[in-house]
Amino acid sequence: MAELWIWRHPRPDGAAGRCIGAGSDLPVDPRRAKRLAHRIRQQARRAGLPRVIATSPLRRGAAVGRWLRRWGWRHGVDARLAELHFGAWDGQPWSAISREAFAAWEADFLGHAPGGGESLAALRQRQAEWLDEAGDLPARLVVGHAGWINALRTRHHPQLTAANWPRPLRYGQCWREPAASDALNPTPPDAR
């Protein structure tokens, strides 16, 4: 697998306190998108990375890719990079989701589809398909979503549960997974 650099998208407008997945295509302030695009461009220049970025079609990630495209980068959009779909939960305040609904998901963390949407197992499947298409680039750069990134960070975890699901990266934070030939364990880069 090629080296993977993935930045969590900027904070979208209207997300605070709400369950936001693939069914909630919230906008992002253009200034936030431009700032993250600028940081990605700087980090890519310092690390000698290709000027190619992939995003999901959701506005909170794609807006960053569009800024980079304006500056001469190639920007690819792939639906497999979208956040987990939370079905009926999507867009709802977290406080409006019942304890019983959370308990059902926790009881089968990988297999249950929260809100009738998509299970983590299904997200991991589309993620694996995307990862298998590395192409000839030495590194892949992505603007991604918290759930997608956490699914990647935990894909080798033998007993994944809700209790050991990692805290999400901060908005705009980067996570790096070295190429398969470089190391067995991922290491985070400068996560300014």
Q: pLDDT tens for the chain, 192 residues: list them.
A: 689 999 999 999 999 999 999 999 999 999 999 999 999 999 999 999 999 999 999 999 999 999 999 999 999 999 999 999 999 999 999 999 999 999 999 999 999 999 999 999 999 999 999 998 866 677 899 999 999 999 999 988 878 999 999 999 999 999 998 876 554 444 444 433
Number of domains forming the structure of the chain: 1
Residue 160 is assigned to a structural domain of this protein: yes
Residue 159 is assigned to a structural domain of this protein: yes
Residue 185 is assigned to a structural domain of this protein: no
Residue 95 is assigned to a structural domain of this protein: yes
Residue 122 is assigned to a structural domain of this protein: yes
Residue 39 is assigned to a structural domain of this protein: yes
H or E segment and range at residue 120: helix 120-132
Residue 163 is assigned to a structural domain of this protein: yes
Q: What is the C-alpha separation between 21 and 8, in angstroms, rounded?
A: 13
Q: What is the C-alpha separation between 41 and 45, in angstroms, rounded?
A: 6
The closest of 98, 94, 84, 102 to 162, measured between CA atoms, is 102
Tokens of 142: 């992505």
What range defines the domain where residue 66 resides?
A: 3-177
Residue 94 is assigned to a structural domain of this protein: yes
Tokens of 124: 């991991």
A 10 A CB-CB count for 92 gives 16
- CATH code (residue 102): 3.40.50.1240
Q: What is the C-alpha separation between 164 and 157, in angstroms, rounded?
A: 9
Tokens of 130: 């995307």
Place of tokens 């995003």: 55
